[in-house]
Amino acid sequence: MGTVWTEWVGAVAAILTTASFVPQAWLTWRTRDVSGISLGMYSVFTTGVALWLAYGVLLGSWPIIVANAITLALALSILVMRIRYGGGRRSSYRSPYRG
C-alpha cells in the first residue's frame, strides 16, 4: 500500500476517533455533570493521549499529531472539570446491602 493511502487511512481513523470524543466533552462541559467520570481512568487516558501526541511529533505524522492534539484538549477539559466539579461522590444511590 502506498504512502498516500497509509496517510489517508490514518487521517480517517484520526477523524473518527477524535469526533467520537466530542459529544462526551460537550455534554460534560454543558451540564458540568462529572458523576460518571472516573478520575483515575481519565488521568491515565489523558497521559496516554499526551504520549500519542509526542509519538506523532517524533514521527512527523500529521494525522497522529492533529488527532491527538484535539483529543488531548478535550480530555484535559473533561479531566479539569472532573477535578473541579467532582470533588466527592454525588450519587443518591443507596445500596440495599447497607444497614
Q: What cell does 76 get? A: 484535559
CA–CA separation, 13 vs 16, rounded Å? Answer: 5
Query: The pTM is what?
Result: 0.74
Q: What is the pLDDT of residues 30-54, one digit of tens each?
A: 998 988 889 999 999 999 999 999 9
Which of 86, 92, 91 has its CA nearest to residue 39?
86
pLDDT at 64 over 80: yes
Cα–Cα distance list, 6 to 12, 15, 57, 89 (Å): 10, 14, 17, 45
Is the model more confident about 1 or about 2?
A: 2
Phi-psi region of 60 (alpha: psi -120 to 50; beta: other; left: phi over 0): left
